Chains A and B, each alone.
Chain A
Amino acid sequence: MKRRDFVGITGLAAGALWLPSVPGFAAGDAVDPLRLLEPGPDVALKKRMADAALNAAKAAGATYADVRIGRYLNQGVFTREKQVQNIVSTESYGAGVRVIANGTWGFASTNQVTEAGIAKAAQLAVQIAKANSKVQKEQVKLAPQKGFGEVEWKAPIKQNAFEVPIKDKVDLLLATNAKALENGASFVNSVLFQVNEQKYFASTDGSYIDQDIHRIFPTFGVTVVDRASGKFRSRQALSSPMGLGYEYLTPKAEDKVAGPQGSGVIGYKYSYDMLEDAALAARQAKEKLTCKSVVPGKYDLVLDPHHLGLTIHESVGHPLELDRVLGYEANYAGTSFATLEWKAKGQPYGSKQVNIVADKLQPGSLGAVGYDDEGVKTKEWNLIKEGILVDYEKIRDQAHIVGQQESDGCCYSQSWQDVQFQRMPNISLKPGAAKLSVDDMVKNVEKGIYIAGNGSFSIDQQRYNSQFGGQVFYAIEKGKITGMLEDVAYQTNTLEFWNSCAAVCDQSDYRFAGFFNDGKGQPSQSSAVSHGSSTSRFNSVNVINTARKI
C-alpha cells in the first residue's frame, strides 16, 4: 500500500500533517486560521512581479508567455458525533510561468515570488520549451485572444467563510451531528471545507486579471446500525459544494425544493439547511434497514438534480473533453466514444428533450469565474442541442482542431505550481420549456423509481456503460410514491440513457449538484465543477438488485 492508500483507510480526519494531500486541498503550509483573513499581496506588486516574468520570458526568446500568481487558502473542520476531530487551515503562495518558445510549451513554477525568483522561473520555462521543441511534431497553434488590460473579477459572495469564527462552524457541525443522533443515527461525521483562490493572471496578450474565487462544501454521512440483525445503512448529505460564501449555510425557504409527494425528500438551491437534512438523513437511513429490496427489471426512472448531476458529469461532461476525445488521456481516464467521426455522423446523443450547455458563468456554481487560467473571458455554449452533439469543451491550443477561432475559456490549474490544461466547465441540462412539476411528472409514471442524491458510480473508459446508485430510492406505482426501496442501481449505455429521456421539469426545479474533486491528468490534478438540472424522467432503464450474501 502506498501513501495515498494510507489516506484511504484512515479517512479525512487522520491528521493535519496529511491534509495537504487530501484532494481539493492545494498543498500548502498549515497556518493559524487568522492568517486566512490577512490580505494577499496588492495588485501593484503582483503586476510588477508579472511584468518581471513576462519580460524575462520574452528576453529569453518566448513568443508567448503567461504567469499565474496564486494565493490558495483552505480550511477544513472535521467532527464526528459529539467531538471535533480536526481543524486545519492552509495557505499556499507562488507563481507559475508558461511560455511558448520555438513553437513549444514550457512551464516552471516557484514559491520565490520576487522579481529575481519569478524571472528565473520564466527563464527555466523557456529553456524547457526550447529543449522540448526538438521532439515536437507540430507547433502550438493558439486561438487569438485579445488583452483585457487591468481587470478584476470577484465571486459574488455575501460572507467570506474565513471571517466566520471557527467556534460558529464547530457549533453548526456539532448541532448537525446532534440532529442526526436525536433522529436515530448510530454514527455521524460532518465536515466543512472552505476554499479561497486569489489568482492573478497576466499574459503577453496584454491582460492583467485579478480574481477572487470562493468555494464552500458542508457535508456529512450518517450511519444507522441494527446490532441484532448486523445490518447497517448510511445516507450522505444532499448538500452540494458551491461557489458561494458562508451565506450558503443560512437556510432560506425559497431555496428548498420538495421531492414528489410521499417521498419527504428536500432538495436545496442556493442555501442549505444542514440540520434539517441531517435529521431527515437519520430517519431515512433507519428506514433503509427495513424497506423492500428492489425487484430487478426495467423501470421508468425519475432522477432528482442531486443525482442527475453525477450522471451528466460522467456521461456528458467527460466524453466531450476534446483532449480526451483525441487520445491524450488514453492511459489514465481513457478516451471517448464521441469522436470527431462519430459527431460528424449526426446521430442522436439524446432525445429532443436533451439540451446540454457548458458554461463558466452561472452565479453560485463551482465553475464560475470571470476569466479562465489562460486569460479567456468565460462564456456559455451549447454542447447538445435537441439531442444532437454540436460542440466539445476546448481551450486555446485546441480550438483550431475543430476549425474554430476561439477558446471556450475552460482552462484550469489546481494551483500555481501545476500547469493549466483543459478542464470540465459547468455542464448543465437545460430545464424543460413547458411548465412541469415533479408531482406532475410522477403522476404519469406507471412503474418507476424516484432516486435522490448521488451514490455509487462507475463508467467505462470510453463512457458507454455506466452504473449508478443513489442516496434514497422510492417506488412509483400507478403515478404515486408507494414506499422506500433498497439495493437499487441502474446500468445503462450513455446513448440509450439520454435517448430514453422523456421529460425534464421546468426552471422552478432547477438546481446544482457539484463535485469538489474531479480528477484528470497524470500527475493528477483536481478541479471543482457544478452541474445544473431539473428532475428528469428516463423510460425503461435496467435496474439491478445489489444485495449479496457473504
Chain B
Amino acid sequence: MQEAISQQLTANSQQLIAQKDMAILSKDEAQAILKKVIGFSTADECQANLNGRTTGNIRYARNSVSTAGAQDNVSLAVEARFGKRSGIATCNEFDDATLRRCVQRAEEIARLAPEDPEYMPLLGPQQYLTPVSYAASTAAITPDLRAQAAGDSIALCSAKSLTAAGYLEDGAYFQALRNNKGLEAYQQSTSLDFSVTVRTPDGTGSGYAVADYTDVAKFNAKSLTQLAADKAAGSRNARALEPGKYTVILEPAALVSDEGLLNNLMYSLGAREADEGRSFLSKKGGGNKLGDKLFDPRITIYSDPLNAQAPSGVFDYEGLPVKRMNWIEKGVVKNLYYSRYWAQKTGKAATAFPGNFIMEGGTQSVQDLIKSTAKGILVTRLWYIRDVDPQTLLYTGLTRDGTFYIENGKIKFPIKNFRFNESPIIMLNNVEAIGKPVRLGGNLVPPLKIRDFTFTSLSDAV
C-alpha cells in the first residue's frame, strides 16, 4: 500500500509572543492582575477568575508520529453583578486599558441580563488546604521528551511487528480567583495523560494501556506499551463465548476510562435531581436516599484533594474549599452533591465540587484476582459507554482491546468482545473481591471482581 496521511505538527503561536513559561503566573503575579480588575469594578459584586495553561501533545499511529502540538494561554473572566443580574466578559490581554474594557463589558452585560432567581451572593474569604497537585518536573516537559516517549513506544512495537497508536498530553495549569467580598484563591497543577493501543498487523489482536500522573518522573512509555503489546499478541484469534451473565474481573481502565461506569455513578450523586424525583437516588413518595445502604458493605468512595497518588485542586470554580469528603461509606450513601443554591433551599451545607475520587480496596493485584477465579472473564477496557435508563443507571457499552477467558485461576484463551448492559448499582452489589487501587483519570480505582455481569451480545470488533 502506498499511503501516507501526512504529519501535521501544530503549534499555537501565542508561543511566538510569549515566553515559554508565561502562561503559568505565580500567585503574586496573578493576584496583582486580579486586584487591578476588582479595583476597576463599579458593580455591587465582582469576581475575577484568571486561568493559565501551557500544554503539549504528541499523537502517533501506524508506528509513525502523526501530529504534535503545543499551546500556551492565559485568560481572564470577569463576572459583574448588580443585584441579581450578572454579566461575564473575558479577555486574554492584560494591559490596563484591556482590563478596564473587560470589566466595563461585564457590567454592561449584567445591566441587560434578566434577574437570576437562583442568585447566590459571592463567597467571602475562605480557608484552603495547601495543594500538592503540582510537579515542576511535569511543567518542564519539552517536545523532545514527548517525541522520545512516542519513539520508545513505536520502537518497541516495530521490533515485535506490532502496530502502535498512542497519544500523550501534558500540561501545567494555574487558577486564581478574587472578588470584592475578600475571597482570594490560587492553585497550580500539572498532569500527564498517556494511552496506547497496540494491534497485530493481521488485525486479529489488540491491546491497550492507559495511565496518568501528576509527576512525569513516574511515567514510562515503554512499560505501558509493553503491557498493551502483550495484550495485543495474547488476544489473537479470539474464540466466541455465548453472551450471558459472567463473573468478570474489571481492570481499573474498564471502570473509569472512556467515561466509565464508576465516573458515571459519581456524576449521578446530585442532590437536586434526587430531591426532584428524577434520579436513581430519588425515593418513592419523595425525598432522597441519602443515608441508605445501596451497595456492598465493602464499597467506600471518597474525595481527598491531598491524596499523594491522585491529588486534586483545593477549591472549586466558585471558590468553595475542597476537602476530604465521604460519598459512599461501607455501602451507605453518605453525601450528595449540593450546589450552593440547592443547599440553601434545603437547609444543607453546600458541597464543593470534588476534583477526584478514591475508591478503597485491598492488596490484591489483577493477577491475584485471576488466581482466585474458577471461571470468569478478564476485561481490559469498556468503551462507548452510554446511558440507557437513568431510572436504574443502566449503561451499555462494549469490551475492547484485551478480553480473556479465565479457568481455574489462569487465563485460558482470548475471547471475542461483548456488549454489556449493566448498572453500576447492580455491579457494586455483586462484588466478589476488590483489588489494590491504582491511579487512573486523576482518581484511585481498584480492579473489581464482579459476579453476574450482564453481557447481552457478541461483537466481531477487534
Contacts and interface: CB of A to CB of B under 8 A. Distances in A.
Are chains A and B native binding partners rather than an unrelated pairing?
A: yes
Contact of A186 (B147, B277, B391): B277
B29 to A, nearest CB: 21
Interface of B: 1-17, 49, 57, 59, 61-62, 64-69, 71, 77, 79, 88-92, 105, 108-109, 112-114, 116-118, 147, 163, 165-167, 169, 195-197, 199, 203, 259, 263, 266-267, 270, 276-278, 280, 282-286, 312, 316-317, 337, 339, 353-357, 383-394, 396-398, 400, 417, 419, 421, 423, 425-426, 441-443, 456-462
Contacts of B398: 458, 460-461, 465
Given A15-B317, A32-B108, A547-B389, A107 B283 contact: no
12 contacts: A1-B263, A14-B317, A84-B116, A108-B10, A108-B13, A166-B112, A326-B3, A331-B61, A400-B3, A419-B67, A465-B457, A467-B421
A9 B139 CA distance: 29
B355 A331 contact: no
A115 B51 CA distance: 29
Contact of B266 (A1, A129, A335): A1
Nearest to B173: A3
B114 A1 contact: no
A238 B7 CA distance: 41
A128 B354 CA distance: 39
Interface centre among B7, B195, B357, B456 (most CB of A within 10 A): B7
B89 A30 contact: yes
A465 B419 contact: yes
Given A140-B4, A461-B383, 10 more contacts: A2-B442, A17-B49, A88-B88, A105-B6, A125-B11, A186-B277, A230-B282, A232-B282, A418-B10, A550-B280
Contacts of A326: 3, 5, 62
A140 B88 contact: no
A228 B285 contact: yes
Contact of B286 (A110, A227, A329, A465): A227
A436 interface: no
Contact of A109 (B12, B397, B458): B12
B459 A465 contact: yes
Contacts of B5: 323, 326, 328, 397-398, 401
A109 to B, nearest CB: 5
B99 to A, nearest CB: 13
A473 interface: no
Given A6-B317, A104-B6, A109-B12, A549 B458 contact: no
Contact of B456 (A16, A229, A337, A544): A544
Contact of A170 (B7, B114, B353): B114
Nearest to A314: B384
B286 A9 contact: no
Interface stretch (A239-247, A358-366, A437-445, A486-494): A486-494
Nearest to B385: A458
B121 to A, nearest CB: 15
Given A187-B278, A456-B387, A419 B457 contact: no
Interface stretch (A131-139, A204-212, A345-353): A131-139
Given A1-B357, A469-B388, A230 B4 contact: no
Interface residues of A, number: 110
A40 interface: no
Contacts of A487: 389
A282 to B, nearest CB: 14
A136 B63 CA distance: 11
B456 A491 contact: yes
Interface in A83-131: 83-85, 87-88, 98, 100, 104-112, 117, 120-121, 124-125, 128-129, 131
A29 interface: yes
A10 interface: yes
Interface in A212-232: 223, 225, 227-232
A30 B88 contact: yes
Interface in A1-58: 1-2, 5-6, 8-10, 14-18, 20, 29-33
A33 B280 CA distance: 39
Given A29-B89, A491-B419, A417 B64 contact: no
Nearest to B429: A550
Contact of B277 (A14, A225, A523): A225
B405 to A, nearest CB: 19
A26 B32 CA distance: 29
Nearest to B383: A461
A223 B276 CA distance: 10
Contact of A327 (B17, B117, B163, B458): B163
| Closest A-B pairs by Cβ, 7 of them | A138-B4, A230-B284, A465-B459, A330-B165, A225-B277, A460-B461, A462-B461
Contact of B6 (A32, A140, A329, A460): A140
A522 B59 contact: yes
Contacts of A139: 4
A227 to B, nearest CB: 5
B419 A32 contact: no
B149 to A, nearest CB: 14
A9 to B, nearest CB: 5
A354 to B, nearest CB: 20
Nearest to A109: B12
Contacts of B88: 15-17, 30, 88
Given A458-B386, A491-B419, A327 B165 contact: yes
B285 A223 contact: no
Contacts of B67: 419
Contacts of B266: 1, 5
B270 A400 contact: no
Contacts of B337: 9
A337 B462 CA distance: 9
A120 B425 contact: no
Contacts of B13: 108-110, 112, 117, 120-121, 124
A9 B353 contact: yes
Contact of B400 (A10, A15, A18, A460): A460
B167 A522 contact: yes
B338 to A, nearest CB: 12
Nearest to B6: A140
Nearest to A103: B6
A153 interface: no
Contacts of B66: 328
A464 B459 contact: yes
B232 to A, nearest CB: 11
Contact of A83 (B9, B118, B283): B118
B62 A328 contact: yes
Nearest to A170: B114
B148 to A, nearest CB: 12
Nearest to A340: B1
Contacts of B280: 550
Given A419-B67, A421-B8, A522-B167, A83 B61 contact: no
B118 A331 contact: no
Nearest to A84: B114
Interface in A232-277: 232-234
A99 to B, nearest CB: 10
A1 to B, nearest CB: 6
B165 A401 contact: no
Contacts of A140: 4, 6
A334 B461 contact: yes
A6 B315 CA distance: 13
Contacts of A85: 116, 118
A121 B16 contact: yes
Contact of B9 (A128, A328, A493): A128
A292 interface: no
Contact of A31 (B69, B105, B392, B400): B105
Contacts of B282: 225, 230, 232
A457 interface: yes
Contacts of B169: 522-523
